[in-house]
Chain A
Amino acid sequence: EVQLVETGGGLIQPGGSLRLSCAASGFTVSSNYMSWVRQAPGKGLEWVSVIYSDGRTYYTDSVKGRFTISRDNSKNTVYLQMNSLRAEDTAVYYCTRAVGRGDFEYFQHWGQGTLVTVSS
């Protein structure tokens, strides 16, 4: 059974840093496209970042230069390092596993989410 468990959320002051973790089971993260998706309170879903199976990484414009996605194959875990946090980064962050055909992959599996609150 596929499982994704996010940890690392919490209350952080503006300008601070936080690292989210996504521990996966039931599949191998290095063989899949793994993404982070966030949802601000009362708002819709926003894709944040992806790490492809070949290691390439991409980010939505609003987090470029501040967030870094990575993975540890030995721990089957994906990370999101978030620096220079802003109030507008406040959201529930979901880890997702994409499946599909070639470069066209949708989010079949989702974690339960972890809340990040940026506030002084």
Chain B
Amino acid sequence: DIQMTQSPSTLSASVGDRVTITCRASQSISGWLAWYQQKPGKAPKLLIYEASSLESGVPSRFSGSGSGTEFTLTISSLQPDDFATYYCQQYNSYWTFGQGTKVEIK
């Protein structure tokens, strides 16, 4: 089974900050990685697929990069609506999620 490890688990930031979340896979997943945003009491929302492709309707301040085993999600300028939990997910072999990164207000 492919394991996904995100860091950090919690991130404190201010509006306007540049934020980076890292996701590591236990084996190569090529570029088969997605990122999701989840707010309390809501279903996850797709942000990025194929490591770096922005889902339609998602603001351009979100970007993804990486391949193989190392991936990052970057928010270029954090907005009030971005305080949420973010999950990476591999879909190279079935599906596995990272444990999540909570972005909270500093």
Q: Which residues of A contact B (CB under 8 A)?
A: 35, 37, 44-47, 50, 58, 60, 94, 98, 100, 104-108, 110-113
Q: Assuming A100-B49, A100-B91, A106-B34, is B43 touching A44 (CB within 8 A)?
A: no
Annotate B60-94 by CB proximity to A: 1 below 8 A, 0 otherwise.
00000000000000000000000000010101101
* B32 proximity list for chain A (CB < 8 A): 104, 106
Complex interface: chain B residues within 8 A of A113 (CB): 43
Q: Which residue of A lies closest to B53 (CB)?
A: A106
- CB pair A47–B46 under 8 Å, yes or no, is no
Main secondary structure of the interface of A (DSSP, over half): strand
Chain B contact-residue range equals 20 to 34
Q: Is B44 an interface residue (CB 8 A)?
A: yes
* Contact A47/B95 with A104-B32, A106-B49, A107-B34 known, Cβ cut-off 8 Å: yes
Residues of B within 8 A of A105 (CB): 91
Residues of B in contact with A (beta carbons under 8 Å apart)? 32, 34, 36, 38, 43-46, 49, 55, 87, 89, 91-92, 94-100
Contact of B87 (CB < 8 Å), options: A45, A100, A108: A45
If A45-B87, A47-B95 touch, does A111 touch B34 (CB 8 Å cutoff)?
no
Nearest CB of chain B from residue A45's CB, rounded to whole Å: 4
Residues of A within 8 A of B34 (CB): 106-107
A111, B43: Cβ atoms closer than 8 Å: yes
* Cα separation A111 to B46 with both chains bound (whole Å): 13
Contacts A44-B97, A47-B95 given; does A106 touch B46 at CB 8 Å: yes
Contact A107 B96 (CB under 8 A): no
For the complex, what is the distance from the CA of A11 to the CA of B45, rounded to whole Å?
Answer: 27
Residues of B within 8 Å of A58, CB to CB, are 94
List the B side residues contacting A112 at CB < 8 Å: 43
Give bound CA distance, A93 to B98, whole Å.
18
What chain B residues lie within 8 Å of A104 (beta carbons)? 32, 91-92
* Residues of chain A with a CB closer than 8 A to B92's CB: 104
